[in-house]
Structure 1
Amino acid sequence: MSILQRVRRGFQWMMGLLIVLGLAGVFLVNWLNNQLLDTKELLDTLSNKLPDTLSNKLPDTLGVEGASGNLVLILTVAVIYILAVVLAYREMQVLTRGMLQESRSLADSGAHLQSEAPELKAAATQQASGATEQAAAVSEITATVEELSRTAHEIAHAAEEGLAAAEEGQGAVQESVEGMERIRGQMDEVARRILSLGAKSQRIGEINDIISDIAGKTHLLALNAAIESAAAGEFGVRFAVVAAQVKELADETREATGQVKSVIQEIQNAINASVMATEDTTKEVNQGAQLAIRAGKVIEEIVQRVQGISLSTQQQQSGSEQVVVTMRDIQEVARQSAEAGQQTAERAALLVGIAARIDDVVMRLSDDGKSGKSQSPRPRRG
């Protein structure tokens, strides 16, 4: 149970006790007043009717039974009357003493409460001033909390936007990583094909070397054929023509193979350059993929932090609203405490007044009882 609830329950208990004491005092006064009035009416009735009865009965009795019997009857009735008056008076004294004790006890309680009334009133005044100060503080806190709430709302909105952007960036990074992986696969395929092309160009170079070697040998063979045809005279003229054509063809073949070799060399150089460029590109693609992966991790951390900021902002906003509610509860309890203190002081004064009225009623009834006893009519003698 919190302190505010204890204070509130204590004031409620005190107010209930004061109400019960007040009702009990009023009920006691009414009951005792009714009892005393009934006793007084009984005494008045006895005091009024008994002499008349005696005065009406005595002459007849004297005429019938004689003087001695009448005297005994008169004495008997007188004794009964006196005993009734004495008993009624004693009963009234007992009731009066009880009422005086109760009224004095009630007066003591009221006086005790009334003695504490200034302190209660001062406490109520202090609580009221404190409630006013708390109200001003609550107003300031409310304004501050509202400002914090607006700021928290803006932060939460910015965090949501940042979260959305981070999620989009994370998706873009994921797509970049996937694209890098595809590019790396394609570059590997290109490198593989370039290497295959280099191997084939090298094979072509080897074949070209074989052709060049054949052309060289054909050239030597053509020279030998020309020499033999020259040695044969006119029988070798036709063979010399063929040898010359073979020599020319061998020269062209050697020239063509030289050009092919030059082209193949250029192709191989280009292939080697392409292979190196492909390797460099593959390395850059790998580095780009690693950077993209790191960027994805960083963005993921940013997303988590943004979510944490958003959650903290919401908790801060909720805590600020709870502070406002608590301060308003404190203000309400302070106001109720001030009102309860004022009401306690008023009820204490009311109890003192009730006790005074009870004393007044008891004293009046006591005086009426004494005067009634002193003024009660004596039996008339016939």
Structure 2
Amino acid sequence: MSKAIEGVAKGAQEQSESVAKVSIATDQINSAIQQVAGNASAVSRDSAAAAEAARKGTITVEQTLSGMQTIKSKVGASAEKVEEMGRRSEEIGRIIETIEDIASQTNLLALNAAIEAARAGEHGKGFAVVADEVRKLAERSSLATREIGELINSILVTVQEAVVAMKEGSKEVEQGVITAGQAGIVLNDILLAAEAVNKQAVMAGEASERMKLASEDLVSAVDSVSSIVEENTASTEEMAANSSEVTQAIEDIASVSEENSAAIEQVSASTEEMSAQVEEVTASAQSLSEMARDLQDLVAVFKLGA
């Protein structure tokens, strides 16, 4: 019986050590879960900030696109006005050419009139004066039309340069619109990705919180089992001490068994009761062993999950 109780005590001690190891592993798992929860929370905050930045960037790009479209429209309208001014200037140039042609013909007619007045002699003097004034007026008109023509030509050159510059500006604005549109697409992709990351981080945080609660329950269960194991260990040690006394009593009683059979029967009854207690402790130890194995399996599951 003493050996049996010693075996039970040894088993209880081993169970106590196993529970202690499970408790340490559980604490480590709990710490790892808290770290994962913290990381998930940080990722959630960062992804939310990235999503907000991408959202603001998208709004800015949309505003830029709207502004560039307005600029493109105004540049196109200005180019049309400048081209219209160029066409008007060309029409003025043609009118100037007509005026210059008329002035040249008038000058020629004035010259012919002066010749005819000279042939008329004294009777043609008055007509000669008029013809000379007409010639001077024609020369002045011709000079003015040439100056206006030069000015119109200069305006036409400037208008053509302005039209070319506006067309180039319109192309650049169009390219800017395309680039801004592409930037908007990229920012929208970033926004979607950031929102997806934030969603995953939130889910990870929720899962970590559930794991944390389960880990706390596990820690509580391990602590409870540890307390039970400690109590049973103390009980088995006490029973081991009592069994030594009972064994000594049995030996003493055996030496005087013939003289005190009633005492032997009483000791025998005590021994049977002690054996029943040992069997009960053994059953408790086996139950604790199964609980320890379950806890170790649970710890293994947590380690695999981590």
Tell me, in whole angstroms, the C-alpha distance in 1 between the residues paired with 2:199 and 2:23.
Answer: 31
The answer as to 2:136 corresponding to 1:217 is no
Tell me, in whole angstroms, the C-alpha distance in 2 between the residues paired with 1:117 and 1:202.
Answer: 123
The answer as to 2:94 corresponding to 1:206 is yes
Q: In 2 relative to 1, CA 357–236 (structure 1 residues): closer, same or farther, beyond 3 Å?
A: same
The answer as to 2:128 corresponding to 1:240 is yes
Q: 1:257 aligns with which of 128, 145, 169?
A: 145
Aligned to 2:208: 320
| 1:153 positional shift | 2.6
Tell me, in whole angstroms, the C-alpha distance in 2 between the residues paired with 1:237 and 1:294.
Answer: 85
Q: 1:227 aligns with which of 88, 101, 115?
A: 115
Aligned residue type for 2:171 = K
| 1:235 positional shift | 1.2
| 1:138 positional shift | 3.1
Relative to structure 2, which stretch is displaced further, 323-332 or 158-167? 323-332
Q: 1:296 aligns with which of 177, 181, 184?
A: 184
Q: In 2 relative to 1, CA 295–217 (structure 1 residues): closer, same or farther, beyond 3 Å?
A: same
Aligned to 2:16: 128
Note the alpha carbon deviations across 1:273-312, whole angstroms, 9 max, x for none.
1111111111111111111111111111111111122222
Aligned to 1:187: 75
Q: In 2 relative to 1, CA 345–137 (structure 1 residues): closer, same or farther, beyond 3 Å?
A: closer
Note the alpha carbon deviations across 1:101-137, whole angstroms, 9 max, x for none.
xxxxxxxxxx9xx969946x65554443233223323
Secondary structure of the 2:33 match is helix
Aligned to 2:297: none
Aligned residues: 242
1:63-74 aligned within 5 A = none
The answer as to 2:44 corresponding to 1:156 is yes
| 1:146 positional shift | 3.0
1:268-279 aligned within 5 A = 268-279=156-167
Relative to structure 2, which stretch is displaced further, 161-170 or 311-320? 311-320
| 1:343 positional shift | 5.8
Tell me, in whole angstroms, the C-alpha distance in 2 between the residues paired with 1:307 and 1:124.
Answer: 54
Task: Note if contact 1:127-1:334 (Cα within 8 Å) is conserved in structure 2.
Answer: no
| 1:192 positional shift | 1.0
Aligned residue type for 2:37 = S
1:28-177 aligned within 5 A = 118=7, 124-177=12-65
Aligned residue type for 2:78 = V
Q: In 2 relative to 1, CA 357–141 (structure 1 residues): closer, same or farther, beyond 3 Å?
A: closer
Q: 2:195 aligns with which of 307, 323, 345?
A: 307
For structure 1, which runs of at least 5 residues remain unmatched after alignment?
Answer: 1-110, 361-382
Tell me, in whole angstroms, the C-alpha distance in 1 between the residues paired with 2:134 and 2:85.
Answer: 34
Tell me, in whole angstroms, the C-alpha distance in 2 between the residues paired with 1:127 and 1:319.
Answer: 32
Tell me, in whole angstroms, the C-alpha distance in 2 between the residues paired with 1:137 and 1:344.
Answer: 22
Task: Note if contact 1:198-1:271 (Cα within 8 Å) is conserved in structure 2.
Answer: yes
Identity %: 28
Relative to structure 2, which stretch is displaced further, 329-338 or 286-295? 329-338
TM-score normalised by L of structure 2? 0.69
Tell me, in whole angstroms, the C-alpha distance in 2 between the residues paired with 1:282 and 1:116.
Answer: 100
Aligned residue type for 2:39 = T
Decide which structure has the larger Cα Rg and report it: 1
Relative to structure 2, which stretch is displaced further, 156-165 or 326-335? 326-335
For structure 2, which runs of at least 5 residues remain unmatched after alignment?
Answer: 240-265, 274-306
Across the aligned residues of Structure 1 and Structure 2, the Cα RMSD in angstroms comes to 3.2
TM-score normalised by L of structure 1? 0.56
Tell me, in whole angstroms, the C-alpha distance in 1 between the residues paired with 2:73 and 2:164.
Answer: 16
| 1:231 positional shift | 1.1
Q: In 2 relative to 1, CA 140–336 (structure 1 residues): closer, same or farther, beyond 3 Å?
A: closer
Q: In 2 relative to 1, CA 344–148 (structure 1 residues): closer, same or farther, beyond 3 Å?
A: closer
Q: In 2 relative to 1, CA 133–275 (structure 1 residues): closer, same or farther, beyond 3 Å?
A: same
Tell me, in whole angstroms, the C-alpha distance in 2 between the residues paired with 1:133 and 1:169.
Answer: 53
Aligned to 1:370: none
Q: In 2 relative to 1, CA 297–276 (structure 1 residues): closer, same or farther, beyond 3 Å?
A: same
Tell me, in whole angstroms, the C-alpha distance in 2 between the residues paired with 1:185 and 1:131.
Answer: 79
Aligned residue type for 1:219 = N
Aligned residue type for 2:97 = D
Tell me, in whole angstroms, the C-alpha distance in 1 between the residues paired with 2:192 and 2:15.
Answer: 48
Aligned to 1:64: none
Q: In 2 relative to 1, CA 174–126 (structure 1 residues): closer, same or farther, beyond 3 Å?
A: farther
